[in-house]
Structure 1
């Protein structure tokens, strides 16, 4: 069976899924290259070796990496400072290969063997507790690098599947909840009363002279967690 041009291009790309090329992932860039919508100089992680291979495959002149897309540099690994991690899960959502594990309000950690060094988790972290460290250098286009790229491609494909599945399941839950409220008006009334009771609950009044000093760090973390929750949940449906 003949391999499509998109697949041949995708096989050359490093599969870091870094988006420096201007596309959502390596496969998206491969499709754009095959259609003539993108140039071969938009993949910094691929370096000169990848650029030459793309030029040969697509019969285009060799040119340096476009600085607008970044510059080629040694691969790095993400490292989470677990002492300062607040467990917001935003880095987990940002990782294109699901190389970060953790749960809400629980410590997160990076699976180093699966980290592509894309750096997409850095801007996602609200407390700047993610650093970068050098990765073990793997020879370009070696068997090891090709195996690594294939694994990252599979992990990214599963990531896309998982995200889509989670969105569909959430939509189904919300639809079921809305239907339940429609079929049982009392349920909606009970929820409204519960919210009203919470809003009207008396608040304890403490004389100012007895109020303990507020832990500024705890307040800051609480604010960050609230912001992370809003970002994680997105706009209200």
Structure 2
């Protein structure tokens, strides 16, 4: 019994040392810009951008193959921060000119159509859906990022994406429309 424990300990120590040496020898240094971009991204790895997680999007942005507006759950604020990192001397608003200024979205479950299949629960990257097997599910609005992952897997089409309801914390003034100038109706004199 002691010989078996000693041989397993020696094997574990030897393989551990081998892995430690291999980790140091084959270490690949990543550019610091990738870590900086990855730190700004939400980190939910929802895949709404079309890349395999936030790290894949950060690598694509560092290479210049992905736009700074690719992270839809992050919204305009994240895109502005990314524009400052990716193009520090450039105009951040010019990079965001194609991004629509829209309200945040969240998932909503029609509870009378929900069968409790748990497919949406398993797919949600932020654990914003609560419920049990063969029970009605619902969405925690504050945790949902509106990534659309749960909508794709719902077999009963009980989940839709809606604008995030306004609360005292998320309420804001509507953008005022110009009264004079291009595109505005002129008042009669």
TM value normalised by structure 2: 0.56
The answer to whether the 8 Å contact 2:109/2:158 transfers is yes
Partner of 2:144: 115
Query: Which residue matches 1:95?
Result: 124
Q: How does 1:53-202 map to 2 (within 5 A)?
A: 53-59=81-87, 61=90, 62-64=94-96, 71=100, 73-135=102-164, 136=166, 137=170
Q: In structure 1, what is the equivalent of residue 183 of structure 2?
A: none
Tell me the SS of whatever aligns to 2:47.
coil
Rounded to whole Å, the distance in 2 between the matches of 1:46 and 1:114 is 13
Gaps of 5+ in 1: 140-237
Given the superposition, is the C-alpha separation of residues 106 and 41 from structure 1 closer, same or farther in structure 2, using an over 3 Å criterion? closer
- CA-CA distance at 1:130 after TM superposition: 1.6
Give yes or no for the alignment of 1:9 onto 2:37. Answer: yes
Q: Secondary structure at the match of 1:85?
A: coil
After superposition, give the CA deviation of every residue in 1:53-76 in whole Å (9 maximum; x if it has no partner). Answer: 222212264424667xxx553112
Shift of 1:52: 3.3
What is aligned with 2:16?
none
Distance 1:134 1:42 in 2: 19
Q: Is the helix fraction higher in 1 or 2?
A: 1
Q: State yes or no: 1:26 paired with 2:59.
A: no
Give RMSD over aligned pairs.
3.1
Shift of 1:44: 3.6
Distance in 1 (alpha carbons) for counterparts of 2:32 and 2:171 = 27
1:40 aligns with 2:37: no
For residue 54 of structure 1, give the secondary structure of its aligned residue in structure 2: helix
Tell me the residue number matched to 1:207.
none
User: Cα offset for 1:86?
Assistant: 0.8
